[in-house]
A and B are shown apart, each in its own frame.
Chain A
């Protein structure tokens, strides 16, 4: 049988898909569980004619990324938890200058150093964060190795289309697991194709600038541009998957590794006569509010399934549903949700033994 797939870790699929999307600059600093991205880039970037730099830390790496992005190169950095925190300032600067870049955040558990094992600690920092100021990151959350490749490949196009930072929000399970993956076609990127990028010093060269757009656009035009951009991303970039929503009594909402256990739980529950469904956000910003418009009247409540201490996605579910149904949160912290655990929790909800989540 011919082999059209590869077996790869999620991290490797992200790195290879980035190279195939024409990424020719990577700067970053190691941290578990995403270090294979760095490792892969260190081996393969030079072979594709690009530049790999392990910076002295995350902050320096991000400043290097700013330079590459300002010159029109497709560029990427990656980190996790506390390392990703260090990138926040530069995300704001990239956003201020309207520079496209792709970042990867492989989530762990907890605060501070937390644990190096899988978690979903960074929903808030990803969907609300990106440093100070008014901007939005486009945030895509893969739930398989295939999606690690596909969404990374897509991320570079979206970053350029909106001149925006795009984040791949993976987790310590998705990025470490090996599955079959069909890689996208390699493409070359022309870093000189933009009318906004820095071009160097020749007298006839365009004199573009790489600092706050507001300084040369004027504040009024800049504010309008940012509002329209954010609205356009919100309108056009909601992505999600629905699974067995018809006649569902409870709808699970989960992304990344949690959604994998949820899919199995929905199947198992329906075999046992309990009607569960699943909405899996693929974009977590913009949160796929449209997915919730189509849920059937049979739905009695939503269950956010997350590997976190407190629900982070819950408030987005409540906004999407306009607080119309009770919200429950099945939170497994640093344990991967299990099919048995999800089903037992849903049985307790339907039996009236669990109170809706009020703290968001």
Chain B
């Protein structure tokens, strides 16, 4: 069971990261829900989606306490860090988030997602780097099986490139505890 929020700037792919996550988790037999914030949003404003993954029936699809936060920019980190459960997991995009310290009640891992995706020639895949770091750090699902599921997701869309899996693997191997 995990209550998750993925958040960042519009365009960073947080909604897609959530859709990939529920797609793979559902194939692994989990119950899943995905909801996104929508409303009068600004270009460059924040975007987020809530994901619930559970072996049991999912009640509210809008969790208020989080097990996992994936923060792709600083406003997202600031907005949701206070919602973390004790012992929760925070994945931070250290290309864009620089904090002098982190709360003691959570585990925080950083990965230079934006820089790595750019360096890999797949600038739009910072979300996949973040997913790699999250899957590795959380143990939510098997790292290799998730990688295969991620490929299947993009294959089904007819828009895959080997660089997607590469970015995911970069995330899974480059995270560091903060």
Contact = CB atoms under 8 A, between A and B. Distances in A.
Is B truly associated with A?
Answer: yes
A180 B26 contact: yes
B60 A338 contact: yes
A13 interface: no
B32 A7 contact: yes
A267 B57 CA distance: 11
Contacts of A176: 35-36, 38
A261 B38 contact: no
A180 B61 contact: no
Contacts of A263: 57, 59-60
A192 interface: no
Contacts of B62: 173, 261, 336, 338
A116 B32 contact: no
B157 interface: no
A1 B27 contact: yes
Given A260-B61, A339-B64, A177 B26 contact: no
Nearest to A178: B34
Nearest to B61: A177
A180 B59 contact: no
A178 B60 contact: no
Contact of B23 (A7, A173, A179, A261): A7
B82 interface: no
A215 interface: no
Of B31, B34, B59, chain A has the most CB atoms within 10 Å of the CB of B59
Contact of B35 (A32, A173, A180, A267): A173
A340 interface: yes
Nearest to B19: A178
Contacts of A336: 60, 62
B39 interface: yes
Contact of A180 (B32, B39, B64): B32
A95 to B, nearest CB: 33
Contacts of B38: 32-33, 116-117, 176
Contacts of A5: 26
Contact of B39 (A116, A177, A178, A265): A116
A337 B59 CA distance: 12
Contact of A264 (B23, B34, B35, B60): B60
Contacts of A178: 19, 22, 32-35
Q: Which range contains the number of B residues in contact with the other chain?
A: 20 to 34
A352 B178 CA distance: 48
A11 to B, nearest CB: 12
B162 interface: no
Nearest to A2: B27
Nearest to A335: B62
Interface in A142-166: none
A115 interface: yes
B103 interface: no
Contacts of B58: 179, 260
A3 interface: yes
Interface in A68-117: 115-117
B29 A1 contact: yes
Interface in B118-146: none
B40 interface: yes
A264 B52 CA distance: 13
B26 A261 contact: no
Given A1-B29, A116-B39, A176-B38, A267 B59 contact: yes
B35 A340 contact: no
A116 B58 CA distance: 25
B31 A180 contact: yes
Given A261-B62, A338-B60, A177 B35 contact: yes
Interface string B153-178: 00000000000000000000000000
Interface in A303-346: 336-340
9 contacts: A1-B28, A7-B19, A7-B32, A7-B34, A173-B35, A173-B61, A178-B32, A178-B35, A263-B57
Nearest 5 A/B pairs, CB to CB = A264-B59, A178-B34, A261-B60, A263-B59, A177-B35
Given A7-B19, A261-B59, 11 more contacts: A173-B61, A178-B33, A179-B58, A260-B58, A260-B61, A263-B59, A264-B59, A336-B60, A338-B60, A338-B64, A339-B60
